[in-house]
């Protein structure tokens, strides 16, 4: 006998699911655009994505959803705020109200523009030609400011964009959090720089043939639990993870035959995202209960596997002998300790995606400040290179040699992702907090890693994170799982615990 609330709730979910099913078609088109699409296909792809974005928007803003939301909220009124159904309706409401505010023509124009702008960005980055990208950046920033103005309705513009990636998050909260982090991070990085100890990273820049790197990376992804029957690994310029739908989660990487690590840690990173997507309850596809919490929580999953597992001592007790067997010409005679130190170097560098666990967050703070200024209208897109280099000197003590190593390095702004960067540092913080808890719950984690066993951690994450979908907001989820408030403490403890001994500081 169905309860009274079931009918509107089920009808609501069916409609929301259909919009999500349609948007999952966009996921495949976007994946293809970044992996296999031929060069001349870009203009048509932009039209396809523009059309689909408009149709998804139309489906997602159908007034019938509004009616079913009203009826569902009414019907669920007696139920605990903690109930899955209540959380589900809360998140549908949030997305619906947000979408309803945006005119369809703006949604379609952003979709079309980002495809063209991303293509322009790729060309501009290859030639380090910021002027070629500038008009596209101007267009994107203009469109996103329009979006923010509509959404903010008088409130903070940046917060309106941030909320899309990190529901409930605010600039004010991040400014406080990041300042606290920076205040401890900068002295730590300075101490490391001043320590006099340096790993021999040249040993990572020998011959590492791409086909063997790929084999090694696939094996590592499979070992931590990425299911290749329900996913793929492909090559791209700017790696990402894309879930096409249940049973189909795709990760990407890039290879450099003279560099060990970039591809491998990239694969572990994307596989971390992939494990989360593969672990979300497929039966709830299209509902918030089958979706990720936020980009920050998503990023915590990639960071956890890339850094807290993939750069851990236990992981390499298992994998280093295999790495030596795979790349004998480059790793024979390299001691495990020297190797471990090399992959755990810490020093300011130009490229965010190649940065170490500590300085990475300083890269994010640079971008966070710049994009807030762009959206506030305090920084003109034309002035980005100068502002970038100035901030970079301030936080990382380096001046980029060109814009390809500076403000052109990331794809994000070209495809309209403004307000997204802070979620990377949130991911680092959440990852450290979650991992700290996992280590308490699973005491012999590193010994398991050393035996090539990663299932216990994956299972723990499934139980504590994946299975909830978006039932809890990020801050709440972290608190529920760890019993601690959101903070930079666990990350700083992790960094001091790792870099202290390696660099001989305390």
Q: Cite the active site residues.
A: 270
Classify 222 as helix, strand or coil: helix
Among 255, 265, 285, 292, binds a second copy (CB under 8 A): 285
Residue whose entry in the numeric block shows the structure tokens 């009616």: 67
Considering the complex, what minimum distance in angstroms separates the CB of residue 278 from a second copy?
A: 9
Determine if 452 is a binding residue for a second copy (CB under 8 A).
Answer: no
Among 7, 11, 41, 476, binds a second copy (CB under 8 A): 41
Determine if 122 is a binding residue for a second copy (CB under 8 A).
Answer: no
> Would you say 251 or 370 has its CB closer to a second copy?
251
Determine if 24 is a binding residue for a second copy (CB under 8 A).
Answer: yes
Over the window 221 to 240, marking each residue x when it contacts a second copy by CB under 8 A and - when it does not, the resulting string is ------xxxxxx-x------
Considering the complex, what minimum distance in angstroms separates the CB of residue 50 from a second copy?
A: 9
CB-CB neighbours of 209 under 10 Å: 14
Among 2, 38, 443, 497, binds a second copy (CB under 8 A): 38
Total residues contacting a second copy (rule CB under 8 A)?
37
Rounded Cα distance, 420 and 412, in Å: 8
Q: Is 81 exposed, middle or buried (0-12, 13-18, 19+ CB in 10 A)?
A: exposed
> Would you say 47 or 313 has its CB closer to a second copy?
47
> Would you say 250 or 437 has its CB closer to a second copy?
250
> Would you say 252 or 482 has its CB closer to a second copy?
252
Residue 37, both tokens: 């699409």
Positive or negative: CA dihedral 129, 131, 135, 138 = positive
Residue 252, both tokens: 């990407």
Determine if 354 is a binding residue for a second copy (CB under 8 A).
Answer: no
> Sheet holding 231-235: strands in order across?
231-235, 248-253, 241-245
Determine if 209 is a binding residue for a second copy (CB under 8 A).
Answer: no
Residue 25, both tokens: 């078609």
> Would you say 48 or 195 has its CB closer to a second copy?
48
CB-CB neighbours of 419 under 10 Å: 27
Candidate ranges 50-58, 151-159, 324-332, 483-491; the one touching a second copy (CB under 8 A): 50-58
> Would you say 41 or 209 has its CB closer to a second copy?
41
- Per residue, what are the HEC states of 413-459? HHHCCCCCCHHHHHHHHHHHHHHHHHHHHCCCHHHHHHCCCCHHHHH
DSSP 38-79: -GGGHHHHHHHHHHHHHHHHHHHT-HHHHHHHHHHHHHTTTS
Determine if 40 is a binding residue for a second copy (CB under 8 A).
Answer: yes
> Would you say 247 or 483 has its CB closer to a second copy?
247
Query: Which candidate, 420, 440, 385, places its Cα nearest to that of 129?
Result: 385
Determine if 247 is a binding residue for a second copy (CB under 8 A).
Answer: yes
Contact 65, 16 (CB under 8 A): yes
Rounded Cα distance, 276 and 434, in Å: 14
Determine if 256 is a binding residue for a second copy (CB under 8 A).
Answer: no
Considering the complex, what minimum distance in angstroms separates the CB of residue 227 from a second copy?
A: 8
Candidate ranges 48-56, 70-78, 349-357, 438-446; the one touching a second copy (CB under 8 A): 48-56
Among 5, 9, 16, 45, binds a second copy (CB under 8 A): 45
Enumerate binding residues for a second copy (CB under 8 A).
18, 21-22, 24-25, 28-29, 32, 36-45, 47-48, 51-52, 55, 227-232, 234, 244-248, 250, 285
């Amino acid at each position: 006998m169905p309860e009274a609330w079931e009918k509107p709730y089920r009808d609501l979910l069916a409609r929301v699911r259909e919009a999500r099913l349609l948007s999952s078609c966009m996921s495949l088109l976007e994946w293809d655009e970044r992996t296999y699409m031929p060069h001349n296909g870009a203009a048509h792809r932009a039209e396809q994505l523009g059309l689909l974005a408009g149709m998804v928007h139309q489906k997602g803003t159908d007034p019938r959803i509004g009616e079913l939301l009203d009826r569902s909220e009414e019907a669920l009124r007696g139920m605990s705020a903690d109930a899955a159904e209540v959380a589900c309706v809360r998140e549908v409401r949030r997305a619906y109200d947000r979408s309803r505010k945006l005119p369809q023509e703006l949604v379609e124009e952003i979709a079309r523009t980002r495809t063209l702008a991303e293509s322009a960005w790729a060309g501009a980055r290859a030639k380090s030609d910021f002027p070629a990208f500038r008009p596209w950046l101007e267009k994107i920033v203009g469109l996103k400011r329009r979006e923010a103005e509509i959404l903010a309705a008088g409130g903070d513009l940046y917060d309106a964009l941030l909320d899309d990636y990190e529901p409930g998050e605010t600039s004010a909260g991040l400014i406080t959090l990041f300042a606290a982090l920076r205040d401890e991070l900068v002295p730590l990085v300075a101490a490391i720089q001043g320590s006099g100890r340096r790993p021999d990273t040249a040993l990572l820049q020998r011959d590492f043939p791409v086909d063997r790197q790929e084999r090694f990376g696939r094996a590592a992804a499979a070992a931590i639990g990425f299911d290749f029957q329900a996913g793929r690994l492909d090559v791209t310029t700017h790696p990402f993870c894309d879930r096409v739908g249940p049973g189909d989660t795709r990760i990407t990487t890039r290879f450099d035959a003279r560099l060990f690590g970039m591809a491998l840690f990239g694969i572990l990173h994307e596989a971390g995202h992939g494990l989360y997507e593969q672990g979300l309850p497929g039966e709830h596809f299209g509902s918030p209960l089958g979706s990720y919490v936020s980009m920050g929580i998503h990023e915590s999953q990639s960071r956890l596997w890339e850094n807290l597992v993939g750069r851990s001592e236990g992981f390499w007790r298992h994998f280093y002998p295999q790495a030596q067997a795979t790349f004998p010409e480059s790793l024979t005679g390299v001691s495990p300790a020297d190797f471990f130190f090399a992959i755990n170097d810490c020093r300011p560098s130009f490229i965010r995606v190649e940065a170490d666990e500590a300085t990475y967050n300083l890269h994010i703070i640079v971008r966070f400040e710049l994009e807030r200024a762009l959206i506030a209208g305090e920084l003109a897109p034309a002035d980005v290179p100068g502002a970038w280099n100035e901030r970079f000197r301030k936080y990382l003590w380096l001046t980029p040699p060109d814009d390809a190593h500076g403000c052109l390095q990331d794809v994000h702004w070209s495809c309209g992702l403004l307000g997204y960067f802070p979620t990377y540092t949130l991911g680092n913080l959440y990852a450290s907090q979650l991992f700290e808890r996992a280590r308490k719950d699973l005491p012999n984690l590193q010994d398991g890693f050393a035996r090539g066993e990663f299932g216990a951690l994956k299972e723990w994450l499934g139980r504590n994170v994946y299975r909830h979908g978006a039932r809890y907001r990020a801050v709440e989820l972290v608190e529920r799982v760890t019993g601690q408030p959101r903070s930079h403490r666990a990350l700083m403890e992790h960094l001091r615990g790792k870099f202290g001994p390696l660099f001989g500081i305390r």
